Amino acid sequence: MTGFKWEFDLDKTTSVQFNLISANSVSIRPAASLALSLGTLLVISLVGNGACWSRHLFFCLGALLQVVASSSTGLGIMYAGRVIVGLSVGATSNLAPIYVAEISPPAIHGRLIGLYELCLQVGGVASGSTMEPTEISGQALTSG
């Protein structure tokens, strides 16, 4: 976080302002993911599954916007990159199980989709348990 504070000149902000900026930058991507994951089936029915390959290009574009964001460009370009990446992740999270169900033999496609979901949940628990800071008696500690 010190690099983030330094790059965007956030050393001079109050802790409340910094916490708001930090929360916004973190929560934008999951919100965009949720928005598009709910609308992916509509997109698939309109343009077809084959046309959805462009989500990878959108992911790369969003990642590029986040990389070039600096104090001279401001936080807006980073937020835009997070939204674009979030939309791409939302589409991918919905399309991957559909693709697995379409290409796998009928006898095992339920198991493969279940395995995909299991891996997704185990990854979420692992990342949350290793990256989420905890606070014990006023001292910030990193679990894991």
Q: Where are the domains of the chain?
A: 27-127
21 CB-near residues (< 8 Å, 6+ apart): 8, 10, 13, 75
**pLDDT range class, residue 144, cuts 50, 70, 90:** very low
Q: What is the model's pLDDT at position 89?
A: 83
* More confident of the two residues 2 and 93: 93
Q: Which of 24, 4, 6, 12 is nearest to 82 (CA)?
A: 24
Which pLDDT score is estimated for 64? 94
Give residue 142's pLDDT. Answer: 52
pTM assigned to the model: 0.69
Tell me the pLDDT tens digit for each residue of 57-113: 888 999 999 989 888 888 889 889 988 888 888 877 777 787 888 888 989 988 998
Given a cut of 80, whether residue 128 has pLDDT beyond it is no
CB atoms within 10 A of CB 81: 21
Sorted by sequence, the CB contacts under 8 Å of residue 75 that are 6+ apart come out as 8, 21, 25, 69
For residue 46, what pLDDT is reported? 78
Q: Which of 47, 25, 40 has its CA nearest to residue 91?
A: 40
Residue with tokens 């574009």: 61
Helix-helix angle 55-68:75-103, to 10 degrees: 160
Which residues is 135 bridged to in the sheet? 140
Q: What is the pLDDT of residues 41-56, one digit of tens each?
A: 777 777 766 656 777 8
The CA distance from 11 to 82, in Å, is 22
Among candidates 114, 66, 107, which has minimal Cα distance to 88? 66
